[in-house]
Amino acid sequence: MGGAGAEEELTAQETALYDRQIRVWGVDAQKRLSKAHVLVCGVNGTTIEFCKNIVLAGVGSLSLMDDHIVTQDDLNANFLIPPDESIYGGRSRAEVCCESLKDFNPMVRVAVAKGDPSLIDGEFLDRFDIIVVSCRPLKTKLFINDNCRKRSKHIAFYSIECKDSCGEIFADLQNHSYVQKMPGKEPEQQELTYPSLQEAISVPWKSLPKKTTKLYFAMRVLESFESSEGRNPGETSLSDLPAVLARRKEMCDRMSLNESQIPTVLLERLLAAGKKEHPPVCAILGGILGQEVIKSISCKGDPMKNFFYFDTADGKGVMEDVPPTPAD
Amino acid sequence: MASAASEEAVKAAKVLMVGAGGIGCELLKTLALTGFSDIHLIDLDTIEVSNLNRQFLFRKSHVGQSKAHVARDAVLKFRPKINISSYHANVKDAQFNVDFFKQFNVVLNGLDNLDARRHVNRLCLAAEVPLVESGTTGFLGQVTVHVKGKTECYECQPKPVPKSYPVCTITSTPSKFVHCIVWAKDLLFAKLFGDKNQDNDLNVHSKDGSSSKSDVFERDVDEDLDQYARRIYDHVFGYNIEVALDNEETWKNRRRPTPVYIRDTLPEETVQQNGTSRECNNGHEEPSAMASLGFRNPQEIWTLADNSRVFLETLKLFFEKRQKEIGNLIFDKDDQLAVELVTSAANIRAHSFGIPLHSLFEAKGVAGNIVHAVATTNAMIAGLIVIEAVKVLQGDYKNYRMTYCLEHAKRKMLLMPVEPFEPNESCYVCSETPLLLDVNTKTTKLREVIDKIIKSKLGMNLPLVMIGSTLVFEDGDGLEEDEAANYALNLEKVLAELPAPVINGTKLTVEDFQQELSCSINIKHREEFDEEKEPDGMVLSGWSAPVEKQVTSNGGKLAASSSSAHDTVGDASANPGTKRKLDEVLESKENCDASSSAQVIEDDDDTIMLDEDPTLLKKKRSQ
Ligand SMILES: [Zn+2]
């Protein structure tokens, strides 16, 4: 029998397990997936949804980095932690979740990566193809994103945050080439160039299209507030509102945006959310991110560029391209 | 969503989930995390290996067990204090009647087939319980909300039914690979291994009219197995094609097929050489021609010679290893040997007719109507279901949305919410509009009306038929013997000769007590029907006729095959329905291209239908 060498083929076990999804994305994508290595910094209800999705999909390996000891609060949106202190007590989020994730798919290596995300160096990053960061201060995200960009190896960077009923995903695929298949057209090779996180959040607001989702601006105000106060994402409450409104005014003045573009009610919602995650929103964000990572690894399908927003208030799941790619 | 009101509503709610498959697993998890604490879950299925890539509550060790029970146990591990009642049962069972439905605040569907969806829709309407419906196919999905009197019901719009093909296309003039698959599965496989008493359209001409053998497919007790396999091969791929070629009329405007004989495809192989390795296939493993021939890659497209080897080998293996099952086998997509036989036979036939060959993987998808499914879409759809359920519980009807999950963003949106439609005033399910049936009352039996119209088109389970105040038919248990006998007699009578004659202008009342659905059918007598266009000899109007559904396969665009029941994958059926095509969404299926060098069949009418085209919305909104 002809065909490629045996080692290139999926095993019968893989073919049986992945049958339904191979029918969606093809064998080549499945093979690429099985060779990809993913690092998740920050274990919470949202990233756990993502982890579940890519472990089921059959990614090569998944490493979890989060040394925080599990507390009662972690149980709210996380289905991998049993509510039994004798199981989770004294152990890190990464450890407890790693154990449960292994069960999901024996063909995927799931491991704990000990360490502090704000200190990880370039060589460590080279072990991965995909880095996902959640619930870490902006400065850590910028640091990791910057390091990814400095490596000669292509490492895609994602940030994901759930604020109760709202959520944001950011993607930096640097230079990404992929096969695009549009209805009724021949497959075409496409090239996309992504801005870094730093570039994407420092775009002058005036230059953005009017229809840009309000969540983009609101998240920048919140992020700026948290950074200047030295807080982690979500370490906020409604009592921060006056300071946040002042921050909004300052930023809007500086970038000539009407303050009404960032409604006070929206800021209130984000502040009140704190670290709370609404499980349906976790599922939606984790699903979108899972899909995006699969697209990125397989180099198939239009990837999201470069922000995604979901808000239960209007039910929309929107992409924003910031700064907008110039039409050619 | 942390409003105290919504948290209270969630905590107090009693919800029914139907389906514990792809969407169901995700939904049960998300409901539990969100704070729902009284959940009832119905699913008929047991767990299969191909579920495990997305139905994450299940493990390999659970294969064969009830989905509902295993899902319940898995979720109780992280939410031990909530109440989950699981039923390993069919939602159409009598225990799940209107009273059962009435105890719930909302019903959430994660179903995989039209039949059950329609049934649940009717029970929800009758019990006046809001329904949140859902469906996914690959990266596409949708969630819809159905609240009696406020939004359209699930059946207000036409729903797709599996595509069927004219018999002559299958028996004589296939032009697409799917036709060859249907032939191999529904005719050849059924003829060889199925119930011999079933009608079968496979050509069974004997070589000479005088042959002593009444059925060429019979194997004589002493006939050598290799000889038999070769004889069948030559008969179905060689002789039958020769016979068909004699009919010049057929080939006037068509490419003439080539007969295929074993002496040409495998000239060098003697009877003895073929299949010598079979001996190593002993007992422990499921018999497989691929295994005994050393073929490993199901993605590979076999040559004509290899297909022929597989065909002979599968036939022999069936007789050697599975003799006992012969005579009552039904094609099953999870039966490896059956898939091998159907793949090889379809490919040999495809070769005859100049149709590109396909891999076993692709052929299995077509033969099994396999629905494409990934975990991510199911997870998102489940999240959206919960978001709608919370609104429904609060009666926040101004904010009800149906949401589409798209593969290519539209107006920047990957998740596109749309206001629900208002009820269709002429919907036979949720309004009282009568239907109209054109039928020849002098030749059509009551049985035909019940089977072809009332059960199959109107989707009733246990119908009752009344003409004026005369009951002419009733189904179900608990009938007196004489009643039952009487109804059985009526079934075989033509309409005009029933105890209360049905003629032009008669009004029939049809009811299903379980579904609490009642509708009227006005009869119009008509003598002539177009055999091609009106094959039932009856035409029902005033309802939304189903639209043929096609499921694309990964390896290019392959239509779903006919006959077999819906796949029970669990997620399925981009919750069908169709007013308009969702072009962009549909053709996104092309994105999934095949492995290797699969040759794409151009299928002009290859589409997946969704309920609505979100680009054409703004039509008639509710409220
Ligand atoms: Zn209706």
Could B139 and A281 be called an inter-chain contact, meaning their C-beta atoms sit closer than 8 Å? no
Whether B515 and B566 share a structural domain: no
Q: Kind and range of the H or E element at A38?
A: strand A37-41
pTM of the model: 0.81
Q: Output the CA B121–ligand 1 centroid distance in Å.
A: 9
Is B43 one of the annotated binding-site residues?
yes
A261-270, B364-373, B511-520, range with the lowest pLDDT: B364-373
Task: State the smallest CA–CA distance between residue B49 and chain A in angstroms.
Answer: 6
H helices of chain A, where? Answer: 12-33, 45-57, 85-88, 93-104, 122-125, 138-150, 197-201, 214-229, 241-255, 264-273, 279-298
Q: Going by C-beta distance under 8 Å and a sequence separation of 6 or more, which residues neighbour residue A283?
A: A49, B26, B30, B379, B380, B382, B383, B386
Is B247 one of the annotated binding-site residues?
no
| Partner A contacted by B485 (CB < 8 A) | no
List the single best residue of A9, A11, A24, A31 to mutate versus B (max B Cβ within 10 A).
A24
Task: State the smallest CA–CA distance between residue B80 and chain A in angstroms.
Answer: 8
Pick the more confident residue, A115 or B41: B41
Q: Which of B541, B563, B593 is the endpoint of a domain?
A: B541
DSSP A145-208: HHHHHHSSS--EEEEEEEEBTEEEEEEE-SEEEEEE--TTS--EEEEEEPPPHHHHHSS-GGGS
H helices of B407-467, where? Answer: 446-448
Whether B418 and B449 share a structural domain: no
Q: Residue B587 pLDDT > 70, yes or no?
A: no
| Within-domain flag for B366 | no
Is B195 one of the annotated binding-site residues?
no
Three-state DSSP at B106 gives: strand
CA angle A171, A173, A179 (to 5 degrees): 115
| Within-domain flag for B360 | no
Q: Provide the terminal-to-terminal Cα distance of chain B, rounded to the nearest Å.
A: 24
Q: Residue A308 pLDDT > 50, yes or no?
A: yes
Whether B556 and B537 share a structural domain: no
| pLDDT for the residue numbered A90 | 94
| Within-domain flag for B364 | no
Copy the structure tokens of residue A53. Answer: 């999705």
| Within-domain flag for B442 | yes
CA distances for B551 relative to A137, B360, B548, angstroms: 46, 17, 10
Q: Residue B61 pLDDT > 60, yes or no?
A: yes
Q: List the domains of chain A with CATH numbers.
A: 12-200+277-320 (3.40.50.720), 201-273 (no CATH)
Minimal Cβ distance to A279: which of B30, B361, B591:
B30
* Dist. CA B426–CA B551, nearest whole Å: 29
Whether B148 and B189 share a structural domain: no
Q: Residue B211 pLDDT > 90, yes or no?
A: no
Could B414 and A317 be called an inter-chain contact, meaning their C-beta atoms sit closer than 8 Å? yes
What DSSP designation does A106 have?
T
Could B415 and A317 be called an inter-chain contact, meaning their C-beta atoms sit closer than 8 Å? yes
Pick the more confident residue, B385 or A181: B385
Task: State the residue range of the domain holding B499.
Answer: 435-541
| Within-domain flag for B361 | no
Chain A residues touching residue B29 (CB < 8 angstroms): 79
| Within-domain flag for B537 | yes
| Partner A contacted by B6 (CB < 8 A) | no
Catalytic residues of B: 168
Given its phi and psi angles, is residue B516 left (phi above 0), alpha (psi -120 to 50 degrees) or beta? Answer: left
Whether ipTM exceeds 0.90? yes
Whether B457 and B517 share a structural domain: yes
Report the chain A residue with the minimal C-alpha distance to residue B406: A317
Whether B188 and B263 share a structural domain: yes
Whether B526 and B565 share a structural domain: no
Three-state DSSP at A218 gives: helix
Q: Output the CA B112–ligand 1 centroid distance in Å.
A: 20
Q: Which residue has the tokens 């009724």?
A: A184
Given its phi and psi angles, is residue A44 left (phi above 0), alpha (psi -120 to 50 degrees) or beta? Answer: beta
B247 phi and psi angles, rounded to 5 deg: -80, 80
What CATH number did the domain enclosing B595 receive? 3.40.50.720
Task: State the smallest CA–CA distance between residue A130 and chain B in angstroms.
Answer: 17
Is B180 one of the annotated binding-site residues?
no
Whether B114 and B219 share a structural domain: no
**In whole numbers, what is the pLDDT of chain B averaged over residues?**
81
* Dist. CA A178–CA A295, nearest whole Å: 9
Whether B101 and B179 share a structural domain: no
Could A317 and B33 be called an inter-chain contact, meaning their C-beta atoms sit closer than 8 Å? no
Number of domains within chain B: 3
pLDDT tens digits along A279-294 = 999 999 999 999 999 9
Q: Which of B508, B541, B574 is the endpoint of a domain?
A: B541
pLDDT tens digits along A156-166 = 999 999 999 99
Q: Provide the terminal-to-terminal Cα distance of chain A, rounded to the nearest Å.
A: 48
| Within-domain flag for B168 | no
CA distances for A138 relative to A57, A68, A295, B501, angstroms: 30, 18, 26, 81
Q: Going by C-beta distance under 8 Å and a sequence separation of 6 or more, which residues neighbour residue B211?
A: none
- Contact (Cβ atoms closer than 8 angstroms) between residue A248 and residue A259: yes
| pLDDT for the residue numbered B270 | 57
- Contact (Cβ atoms closer than 8 angstroms) between residue A35 and residue A56: no
Chain B residues touching residue A269 (CB < 8 angstroms): none
Minimal Cβ distance to B384: which of A284, A294, A301:
A284
Q: How many CB atoms lie within 10 A of CB A87?
A: 13
* Dist. CA B436–CA B454, nearest whole Å: 12
Whether B337 and B396 share a structural domain: no
Could A21 and B373 be called an inter-chain contact, meaning their C-beta atoms sit closer than 8 Å? yes
